Amino acid sequence: MIAEFRENHFHSHDGLRLYYRDYGDRTGPRTPLLCLSGLTRNSNDFHEFALRHAATRRVICLDYRGRGRSAHDPDPMHYEVPVYLDDIQHLLAVTHIRRVIVTGTSLGGIIAMALGMVIPTLLAGVILNDIGPDVKEDGRQRIAGYVGQAVHVPDWTAAIAHIRKGYGAAFPVMDDAGWKRIARGTFIETAAGRGLALAYDLNISVALREQAKVALPDLWPLFRSLRPLPVLALRGALSDILTADTFIRMKREHAGMIAVTVPDVGHVPMLDEPAAETAIDAFLADL
């Protein structure tokens, strides 16, 4: 049986051992996909998405430093976009990838926009998943409020119950399989075998809370760097991060952008909703 993906590691400029999954054919002619997750998430979130597209192209899914199976950073102030950009450049160097389509969810979308500014020749296209140049403040503070709070549960049943309680409003029509998927990307079995813990370094909150004390920098110049590129933007209809007004302005700023609202979901769409899959398949068809 052929493995669904290859598990690999590389080292960052400061020596951290970082993990990524490598799906699909490394030598195929189609432009590879690079999947970048949300703030506390990891490569597991993109598993089904990667399998869907691995038949036609290579798909790389990264665990940022401090997430999933990547090493934690001893300096929590390194949990910031400029450092992630450097890590991604190292990842692309070791995978010999010179041009990609980035699928960026939440934080991953901000990183995608930053890549458009600092390495514009890298990008062949961008999929922004429920993120834009303006981040709604109450959603931003909601995230800052829970990140870094330790959670331990005894088993996967309890993990799923915890996730449903916390995110039920964002996913009112989520089925049991969907909740299980989210839980699998949220928790990890502890080394001591004593239940499950969150699958990220709780010290991410140190940098995040410092950043939350001040207004976000103006991200519109980063978004405008994507104007020469094909862009698909997805917005959860119930999102408390990407507002409808910001979505409209994004379309004005990038006339060629494809804008799709995913019904009955908040922050963030899982990319397997019919509206999301249809839009993504059409977007990728010629890339």
**Beta bridge partner(s), residue 197:** 152, 188
Cross-sheet strand order for the sheet of 100-105: 6-11, 17-23, 59-62, 33-36, 100-105, 123-129, 231-236, 258-262
Query: Where are any strands of DSSP class E within 79-190?
Result: 100-105, 123-129, 152-153, 187-189
Q: Which residues contact 137 (CB under 8 A, 6 or more apart)?
A: none
pLDDT score of 208: 86
pLDDT score of 207: 86
pLDDT tens per residue, range 39-57: 999 999 999 999 999 999 9
Structure tokens at 266: 């908040």
- Identify the architecture of domain 6-147+207-284 in CATH: 3-Layer(aba) Sandwich (3.40)
Dihedral angle at the C-alpha atoms of 119, 122, 127, 129, nearest 10 degrees?
A: -40
For 7, other C-beta atoms within 10 Å of its C-beta total 11
pLDDT score of 159: 96
pLDDT score of 1: 39
Low-confidence stretches of the chain (pLDDT < 50) are 1
Query: By C-alpha distance, which of 30, 21, 27 is closest to 50?
Result: 21
pTM above 0.75, yes or no: yes
pLDDT score of 256: 96
Q: d(Cα 100, Cα 33) in Å, to the nearest integer?
A: 6
pLDDT score of 2: 53
Q: Which residues contact 21 (CB under 8 A, 6 or more apart)?
A: 5, 6, 7, 8, 43, 47, 50, 60, 61
| Ranges of each domain in the chain | 6-147+207-284, 150-201
